[in-house]
Amino acid sequence: MLFPTLDFALFFLAVFGISWEMRTRPEARKVFLLAASYFFYSYWDWRFAALLAGSSLINYTAGRLIGLSGTQRERKFLLGIAVTLNLAILGFFKYYGFFLDSLAHVLAQAGLERDLPFLEIILPVGISFFTFQGISYVTDVYRRQIKAVDSPLDVFLYISFFPQLVAGPIVRAADFLPQLKAEPRLDRSLVSLGILLILVGLFKKMVIANYLASELVDQVFFDPSAFAGPDLALAVYAYAVQIYCDFSGYSDIAIGVAALLGYRFRWNFNQPYRAASLKEFWRRWHISLSEWLRDYLYKPLGGSRGGSFATTRNLFLTMVLGGIWHGAAWTFVIWGLIHGTSLAVERLVMSFKTAPAPSAAVAAGGYGSGTIVSLDEPEESWWFSRTLGVLVTFHIVCLAWIFFRAESLDVALAYIKGLTNWSAPGEFTQPFLVALVAASLAAHFLPGAMVMRAAKALEPVGPIGLGFLLGFGILLIKAVAPEGTAPFIYFQF
C-alpha cells in the first residue's frame, strides 16, 4: 500500500477514527495498531508479515534474555546471536542471489560447474528498516541505555508500526517505547504539523520526484551515451533532487501520519544540499540512518578513540559498508568509497584549520556544520567559504549519485565520460525541467524553520479550514502531478 493512493487514504481514515476511539484502553489500542500495521505490510505480500513477526520475535526474546542475564559475557554472547540472526535474515534476502551468481561464475571459471540451489527470492519491502530497528533495540538493551521490555506487544509494535515500516525513518526504541507507555494525546501542534507534512511530502513525491523521474532521469540514465553534456549535467542534478524529494517526501508523510496518531518522530532530513561539508551533509541527509550507522557501526569499530588514522579508517569503512548495504553491486561500493574518501580527506583538511576563538565560533548554517567560521570573519570571506563549501559538497554528492543510480559500472563510467562532451545542445534542458530542478535546489536555502512556522500559523485554524486546505492541497497536487503512482526509491533497500 503506497502512501499517495486512495487505498491508503481509506485505510488511514479507518485507523485514525478507531485508534482514537480506543485511547482510553491503551493496550487494546496497541493491539489494534499492531493489527493495522500487519495489514498494511501484508498488502504487498502476506508472507512478508510472517518474516516481520519472526524478526520481531527474535529481537523481543533476545532483549528479554539479555535483560535477565547477569554476566557481561553472557549478555555479549546473546547480543552476538541476536545481531547475527538479524544480519543473516537481511543477508539471505539481499545477497543470496548475488552470492550464488558469483559462486557459479567462480566454479565455471575453475571448470567445476555445479547445479546450485538458485531460488526466486523476492526482497521483502523495507526489510532493512525493520532489521535495523531490531538491532538497535537489542544493542540498546545490551548497553543498558534502555530496559528490556516485558510486553511483546510493545516490541512488536515498535518494529512494525506502519508509518515508518517500509522506508524509515529508523525510529529508536528509546524514543518510541516511552511514547507507547504514555497516554496517547493529540494536540493542535501535532494536528497542524501532521497535515502540513503530509501535504509537503505528497508534493515532493508526486510532483517533483515523479516529474523528474519520468521526464528526465530515467531516460537519460537508461543510455547516457545517447546524450550530450548539458542533458547529463541536468539529469544528475535532477536525480539529486528526485531522490531527495522521493525519500524525504516519504519521511515527511510518515512523520505526519505518526503525528496524527499521537506519536512524535524525529526529523529525517534537514535541507541536505545546503551543507557546506560532507560531514554536515550526513547530519542533514537521512539523519536516522546516519545516526544508526554512527552508533551501531562506526562506534563499535572504534569511532574516534584510536587516533587520527583509526578514525579515518573507521569513517571510511562505515561509508563503504553503508554502500554495500544498499545492494550487492559495484556501483554501491563506489558510492560508499566516494563518500568515505571524501569524508576522510575533509577530516584531514579540517584538522589543519586553526580553531577559532571560542567566543566567536559559530557553526555555519546551523547545527552540525563541519565548516567552522567566526562571526568576526570578514563578511565576503564568510560568504565565499560557505558558497564554495556548498558547491564542492553538492558536486561530490552528485558524483556519487551517478554511481548510485546507474544500472552498472559501465553505464556510470559512460555517464561521466559524456559529461565532458558539451559539443551538442541539450534535448532536455527545457524551461520546465530546468525550473523544477533549480527551484527545488533553491528551496534548500529557505529558512529552516519555515515548516514549523507555517504549522504554528495553522494551529488556530478550525476543521473546515483544515479540510479545505487538505482537500484543495491534494487536488492541486493531483492536478499538477504526472499520471500514475511510482513506488518510492527506498522501498527496494
Partner 1 sequence: MSFALEFRRKQQLLEHEVQHARQANKGFVSMPADCGTDTKGNRRRVLFALVIAGGVLAIFNSGGLVQYSYDFADSPGGEKMIEVSESWHDMMSESRMTEFIDHIRGSIAMARESSWQDLTFGFAAVPAEPDSSTQPQPLIVPANGESLPERKEHQVPEAAKPAGPIMRASARPSYPN
Asked if 376 touches partner 1 (CB under 8 A), the answer is no
Binding partner 1 by CB under 8 A: which of 156, 158, 221, 292?
Answer: 221
- Interface with partner 1 in residues 40-79 (CB under 8 A): 44-45
- Establish if 1 lies at the interface with partner 1 (CB under 8 A): yes
- Indicate which single residue of 264, 294, 299, 313 sits in contact with partner 1 (rule: CB under 8 A): 264
3-state secondary structure of 123: coil
Among 138, 170, 200, 209, binds partner 1 (CB under 8 A): 209
Please tell me whether residue 95 binds partner 1 under the rule CB under 8 A: no
Amino acid at 80: G
Question: 344-372: b or e for each residue (b if 16 or more CB lie within 10 Å)?
Answer: bebbeeeeeeeeeeeeeeeebbeebbbbe
Span 275-304, contacts to partner 1 by CB under 8 A: none
**Minimum CB distance to partner 1, residue 107 (Å):** 26
- In the block, cell 546524450 appears at 227
Q: Establish whether 326 is a catalytic residue.
A: yes
* Residue 416 engages partner 1 in binding (rule: CB under 8 A): no
Distance CA 123, CA 198 (A): 27
Supply the minimum distance, in Å, between the C-beta of residue 301 and partner 1.
27
ω into 163 cis (within 30 of 0): no
Q: Of these, 16, 39, 95, 296, which contacts partner 1 (CB under 8 A)?
A: 16
Q: What is the CA radius of gyration of the chain?
A: 24
Cβ atoms < 10 Å from Cβ of 168: 27
CB–CB of 256/194 below 8 Å?
yes
Q: Which of 37, 86, 242, 393 binds partner 1 (CB under 8 A)?
A: 242
- Given 286, 326, 339, 444, which residue is catalytic? 326
Residue 222 sits in the site that holds partner 1 (CB under 8 A):
yes
Binding region for partner 1 (CB under 8 A) out of 100-108, 147-155, 259-267, 334-342: 259-267
Closest listed residue to residue 125, CA positions, set 51, 35, 210, 15: 51
Instruction: Select from 27-35, 96-104, 131-139, 221-229 the region that touches partner 1 (CB under 8 A).
Output: 221-229
How far apart are CB 273 and partner 1 at their closest, in Å? 16
Closest CA to 12 of 256, 201, 190: 256
User: How many other C-beta atoms lie within 10 A of the C-beta of residue 40?
Assistant: 22
Strand ranges for 345-447 from DSSP E: 361-363, 372-374
User: Rounded to the nearest whole angstrom, what is the least distance from the CB of residue 419 to partner 1 in the complex?
Assistant: 16
Among 188, 305, 395, 417, which residue interacts with partner 1 (rule: CB under 8 A)?
Answer: 188
Contacts with partner 1 in 167-186 (CB under 8 A)? 175, 184-186
List the beta bridge partners of residue 362.
Answer: 373
The answer to whether the beta carbons of residues 123 and 492 sit under 8 Å apart is: yes
How many positions of this chain bind partner 1 (CB under 8 A)?
A: 89
Contact 260, 191 (CB under 8 A): yes
Instruction: Please tell me whether residue 219 binds partner 1 under the rule CB under 8 A.
Output: yes
E strand spans, 310-360: none
User: Is 367 one of the binding residues for partner 1 (CB under 8 A)?
Assistant: yes
Rounded to a whole number of angstroms, the minimum distance from the CB of residue 363 to partner 1 is: 8
Q: Is the dihedral of CA 38, 169, 483, 473 positive or negative?
A: positive
> Cα separations (Å) of 278 from 13, 275, 336, 339, 398?
41, 7, 12, 8, 12
Beta carbon of residue 38, minimum distance to partner 1 (angstroms, whole number) = 17
Interface pick for partner 1 out of 383, 395, 422, 438 (rule CB under 8 A): 383
87 near 107, Cβ under 8 Å?
no
Nearest-approach distance from CB 472 to partner 1, in angstroms: 6
Nearer to partner 1, 422 or 472 (CB): 472
C-beta of 148: minimal distance to partner 1 in Å?
21
Q: Is residue 196 within the footprint of partner 1 (CB under 8 A)?
A: no
Query: Per CB under 8 A, does 448 bind partner 1?
Result: yes
Q: Does 226 contact partner 1 by CB under 8 A?
A: yes
Q: Is 398 an interacting residue with respect to partner 1 (CB under 8 A)?
A: no
Active site positions, annotated: 326
